[in-house]
Chains A and B, each alone.
Chain A
Amino acid sequence: MAESSNSRKRRKIDPDSQTRIQPETGPTRWRTQAEQQIYSSKLIDALRHVRRGGHGGVRDAADRVLAASARGRTRWSRAILTNRLSLRLAQINRKHKKAARPSAGKSRPRKPAKKLPPVESKVKVLSRLVPGCRKVSLPNLLEETTDYIAALEMQVKAMTFLTGLLNAGAAAPA
């Protein structure tokens, strides 16, 4: 976050260096073919080591590789990389707990809505969608969302390409 704010300051005060800075940071870096290549190759590697079965194993691997390609400059990428294990454990625990004791008291604190502004509630929804951005301020959240959307688009492109490639590879020799 500090880095992003610094780069923002640099962008506004020193426009000459903008061309130097922006290819490294900012959502436009996800658009380059180079990034897509890097991501696809890493994804293939990661896919070999996906543990057998497990729902969303490939999805997690793909997200992890995406976060790794982000080079740690964004909050969501750091959150994905650090929360990997804890998220999985939490998912498993949640599944067991849900089956064991249906929680009755949990929904009550959420019901009284003290803040009705629709913008506020949408911001909360958005913060839940972007990983690791629950307690982030609005301008930073928007910045993270920008990067996240760009990264997701690249991920979709790369995965589509890979699927087509592998399917074609499977079909051709067979």
Chain B
Amino acid sequence: MEPNVEAVQPQFRSGISGTKPGGMGFVFDDIHGLIPAPPETDGTSFTALLELPPPQAVELLVKEDFPAKSMPPPIFPSNIALIDRASMFSVFASADNPPESTNILSASSSMKTDSVKQEPLESEHHRKSSSPAVSNQSLKSIKRKEREIKVKESSKKSKKLEANEASDGSGEQLPYVHVRARRGQATDSHSLAERARREKINARMKLLQDLVPGCNKISGTAMVLDEIINHVQALQRQVEFLSMRLAAVNPRIDFNLDALIAVESESSIDNSYLGMFPPSIWPEGQLNSSRQQQPWLLDGLHPGRVDDTSNFITQENSLLSYDSPPNSASLHSSQLKMEL
């Protein structure tokens, strides 16, 4: 889930900046062990890297000192978007140009320059990319290792994490149907479908989190769902309460509208039925309704209606005027009748 990603990433960053001298050595060994036999968790960290804002990603790139000699020859990602991102990083990183990361930088910069040449190559790997770029791989491995060190997750959990990250990344960059199998992840149809499903669900959860106030800080599906349920229940209770109050006012609704329309009729009112919005502003309390109502909506409301018992025609009653001849109580309604 994205909250997990957010929780993990700050740890990772602090890990890099905090334990740079010693931690890097530790990380080096892991990288050496990693490169010949990459673990099952794959380059989703690359997408996590992509999700980071560029300066922070550059920070990661710059601060990581790992020997580039032991890197395997660069293999390029098949996604053009990833290439662009990587080239962006290389542009930033080449300004500082630390010695250790020159190889990666050269690889990525060569990626940038030879992007046209590489595209046919990448199109081969388009579907099943088991061969991401060097920088990606190294960064992935570092990030993954850091994460496993810091968080000490089981392999299953990290797989899930990265599955979610992959889903977040691929959901935002790749087109809808196309879910790429990342390096090290199972490529059978089941996990692909599962990943696609997860990414759909996570995208919608994100939307919901934006909608419900106070959900951004909560991490975990269950808590977020709790908040959503509470919010829906609260809104429904509010509607219930307001409907009670409206019901109390209801008997006098005609009388109230009478008074309001009388006030309204003094001011200039746009009576055109063609859908032009009246210039009055809603919060000012004028009841000018829009003329955009379409007949089929009225049909939706119509079955629920008893006979038109209203003895008072307002501008809003233009809705009713199509079915029954209203009692004209004001000049406006007669104008509307003529228009109809």
Contact = CB atoms under 8 A, between A and B. Distances in A.
A139 B289 CA distance: 36
Given A56-B243, A149-B235, A44 B225 contact: no
Contacts of B207: 27, 142, 146
B245 A41 contact: no
Nearest to A148: B232
Contacts of B228: 126, 145, 149
A45 B246 CA distance: 13
Given A155-B239, A170-B256, A122 B316 contact: no
Contact of A142 (B205, B229, B259): B205
B243 A159 contact: yes
B269 interface: no
Contacts of B236: 129, 152
B229 A126 contact: yes
A50 B282 CA distance: 25
A72 B228 CA distance: 23
A49 B176 contact: no
Contacts of A37: 282, 288-290
A86 interface: no
B208 interface: yes
B221 to A, nearest CB: 5
B252 interface: yes
B249 interface: yes
Interface in B286-340: 287-290, 292-293, 297, 300-301, 304-306, 308-310, 316-317, 319-320
B224 to A, nearest CB: 9
A125 B293 contact: no
Contact of A139 (B201, B225, B231, B316): B201
Interface in A20-42: 27, 33-34, 36-38, 40-42
Interface in B173-213: 175-176, 197, 200-201, 204-205, 207-208, 211-212
Interface stretch (A60-68, A95-103, A108-116): A60-68
Contacts of B221: 119
Contacts of B285: 165, 168
Contact of A49 (B175, B290, B304): B304
Interface string A112-149: 00000011001101100110000000110011011011
Contacts of B197: 139
Given A41-B290, A45-B317, A156 B239 contact: yes
Contact of B201 (A69, A118, A142, A152): A142
Contact of A38 (B222, B243, B289, B301): B289
B310 A48 contact: yes
Determine the main DSSP class of A at the interface with B: helix
B90 to A, nearest CB: 26
Interface residues of B, number: 64
B7 interface: no
Given A129-B236, A170-B255, A42 B293 contact: yes
Contacts of B245: 163
A167 to B, nearest CB: 6
Nearest to B207: A146
A126 B225 CA distance: 8
Contacts of B200: 139
A149 B231 contact: yes
B260 interface: yes
B176 A159 contact: no
Nearest to A155: B239
B257 interface: yes
Contacts of A162: 246
Contacts of A142: 201, 204-205, 207-208
Contacts of B305: 46, 49
Interface of A: 8-9, 12-13, 27, 33-34, 36-38, 40-42, 44-51, 56-59, 61-65, 67-69, 71-72, 81, 84, 118-119, 122-123, 125-126, 129-130, 138-139, 142-143, 145-146, 148-150, 152-153, 155-156, 159-163, 165-170, 172-173
Given A50-B250, A59-B240, 13 more contacts: A13-B176, A37-B282, A42-B293, A44-B257, A49-B305, A51-B306, A58-B246, A69-B297, A118-B222, A119-B222, A125-B229, A130-B232, A159-B246
21 contacts: A37-B289, A41-B319, A42-B293, A48-B310, A49-B310, A69-B297, A126-B228, A126-B232, A130-B232, A142-B208, A145-B232, A146-B204, A149-B208, A149-B228, A149-B235, A153-B235, A156-B238, A159-B246, A161-B283, A163-B246, A170-B249
